[in-house]
Amino acid sequence: MPRLRLPESLAVLCQRDFRLYWLGQAVSLTGTWAQGMAQSWLVLGLTSSAFALGVVNFASAIPTLLLALLGGAAADRLDKRRILLATQVAMLLLALALGVLVALEWVQYWHVVLIALLLGIAIAYDLPANQALVPELVEREQIHRAIALNGAIFHGSRLVGPALAGLVIAVVGLAGGFFLNALSFVAVIASLLAIRSRGVPAEAGRGSQVRAILEGPAYVRSQPRIAAMLGFTALTAAFVFPNLAIMMPVYARDVLQVGVAEMGLIMAASGLGALVGSMALLGVRRAQQMQRIGQGVVLLTFSLSALAWVRLFLLALGGVALLSFGVSIAMGLAATVIQQQVAPEVRGRVMGLYSLAFMGVIPFSGLAATALADWVGLPAVMQASGLLYGLGALVLFARMRSARTVSAMLPEAEPAPSVATTR
């Protein structure tokens, strides 16, 4: 039978192992977003506090701050596939445990915090291994498309997961959101068992663990493009994600004054905007990357500031979609620049630093934003976040230009030198 011919932008799906892993991740991430919505409503029901949401987010993200460098070194020195199998099984069991506690009506707030902390430990090892594995599943010239498609399922699952969670919660209760997530892990575990192991490089076990960890920051210092994108990632985590990923349930309940069904639609609109942004990345050429990142920043600043004033539900849906579109463009291109530049033998450690720049910042920015929201109100926090983000990005880009790093990003460049040349 003739083989199905895919458009060039989707030809990366012809790679068997990438296709299997991509499909497994699509199912698993849908469950992850479903649990995220269920957990937010559970915490609000137990505490009625925005700060309590910040504490749960802090507990899930603080292990990344402490363990991201270890996770990155493990991804370079161990079999990434086996790391991911261990972390995915651990996350399945944690989702199942929380679902049982909710179903039996035994759940207390400290249970949620403890499970979030354990989940964060698994994520600290899962993220670098996942981000380092994906480029190994495709040809080098297809890396940017693989990253874009990975972003598409991450954000596309935001479209399906919360809406599905809202339906499940309405029918069977909050526990259904957690059981749905536990079931979804079966798909990605099956895909990991089906793909071929890449093993580890022959030189991976050489040297001490401490030396392996220190090589990551040393390598980044020698690569200004990577360092700049890590700084931009941290800036976005500080001012955008607390409003988008943590406090949307508070925005729905207290600002828009709507319920869980409408909250599901808000999260679906967010997922739709981000999905469109991810698919748009498939057509971005390397010479356009910095220009598109700048456009994403402008859109983020405008939409986040505008949401602070919106009280109509339909306008809020549009504003959230625009906000997520901008995040998808800016963050997706930042990750692409890093993955295109980094040397393969240090990829895990650099992606560990990427996880640190993102997940390591969110615990503190989330706590600060939720505490301020309880004090001065969420609209004021959103307005200030939008203005500070735009100002911070302007300063960062000005420093990049003065250091002559922007011009280095525009032309086609050869991959960065290996870690051995930076010692």
The overall average pLDDT reported for the chain is 81
Enumerate the domain spans of the chain: 15-195+210-409
- 46-50, 285-289, 402-406, range with the lowest pLDDT: 402-406
Decide if pLDDT at 406 tops 70: no
Whether the CB-CB separation of 332 and 151 falls below 8 Å is answered with: yes
d(CA 29, CA 35): 10
Spatial CA neighbour of 216 closest among 128, 109, 125? 128
Among 6-20, 29-43, 93-107, the range of highest mean pLDDT: 93-107
d(CA 213, CA 201): 16
d(CA 222, CA 201): 23
Higher-confidence position of 399 and 42: 42
The whole-number average pLDDT for the span 325-333 is 86
The helix/strand/coil state of 108 is coil
Helices (H), 134-208: 143-172, 175-194
User: What is the per-residue DSSP string for 358-413?
Assistant: HHTTHHHHHHHHHHHHHHH-HHHHHHHHHHHHHHHHHHHHHHHHHTT-HHHHSS--
Query: For 15-195+210-409, which CATH class?
Result: mainly alpha
Quick: pLDDT tens for 192-205: 999 886 666 545 55
Spatial CA neighbour of 343 closest among 423, 268, 415? 415
Which tokens sit at 206?
């050489």
Residue 422 banded pLDDT, cuts 50, 70, 90: very low
Spatial CA neighbour of 14 closest among 191, 137, 192, 152? 137
Tokens 């011009």 belong to 407
Percent of the chain residues topping a pLDDT of 90: 15
Question: Whole-model pTM?
Answer: 0.72
Decide if pLDDT at 417 tops 70: no
For the chain, the first-to-last Cα distance in angstroms comes to 53
Higher-confidence position of 7 and 266: 266
